[in-house]
Amino acid sequence: MAMAETEILNDIRRLYPDKVREAFNLLGDDVLVTEAQCFLDLARGLRDKPLNYTLLLDVTCVDYLAARSCMEMVYTFYALDKRHRLRVKVPLPAGECIVPSLTSLWKNAAWLEREVYDLFGVRFEGHPDLRRLMLYDGFEGHPLRKEYPLRKRQPPVPSRK
């Protein structure tokens, strides 16, 4: 399980030395770790030339409540010209589940961020329409958080008249 830097990671680190906290290759996947306050600038740099990570493939979240008392946003980007996938992780301290929205850079971020908001409760600063996507408006809590009670009873879905 070697964690070495690849040439692409070295290039990104050289271009954005103050925005990349960690860079490593884990089991064939290139991974960057950055802070929430640097994330939007780093994402813009990844999207634009010379890096060209023009596709935002996925946005998800991991709850490390037991291990680190925090959550971590995980973004997957793809560069068509390089045929290269890049994962970017943004740790969020407990109680500060806020990260900048990528909707100004990628239109598909709107739906992906709404899903994470709905299921994990992460707030995306600057999102134009941050509301529930999968669950009904009266649903209480965020069911993919580890602190969410397994047998929690929800208020009934309002009937349509």
**pLDDT tens column, 107-146:** 999 999 999 999 999 999 999 999 999 998 888 888 888 8
| 144, part of any domain | no
| 30, part of any domain | yes
- Tell me the residue range of the domain where 26 lies: 3-98
- Residues 153-160: contacts with CB within 8 Å, 24+ apart? none
Sheet of 84-93: strands edge to edge? 3-4, 22-26, 29-33, 84-93, 70-79, 55-63
| 111, part of any domain | no
| 34, part of any domain | yes
Q: Which two tokens stand for residue 58?
A: 């996925």
d(CA 43, CA 30): 15
pTM over 0.75: yes
| 56, part of any domain | yes
Q: Which segments in the chain show pLDDT lower than 50?
A: 1-2
Q: What is the pLDDT of residue 91?
A: 94
Specify the CATH number for the domain of residue 34.
Answer: 3.30.460.80
Q: Which two tokens stand for residue 3?
A: 């964690």
| 63, part of any domain | yes
- The backbone region for 30, taken as left when phi is positive above 0, alpha when psi lies in -120 to 50, beta otherwise, is beta
Q: How many domains does one find in the chain?
A: 1
| 132, part of any domain | no
| Residue whose C-alpha is closest to residue 44's, from 119, 116, 98, 102 | 102
| 66, part of any domain | yes
SS3 state at 159: coil
Which alpha helices (H) appear in 16-150, and where do they start and end? 36-47, 65-68, 109-120
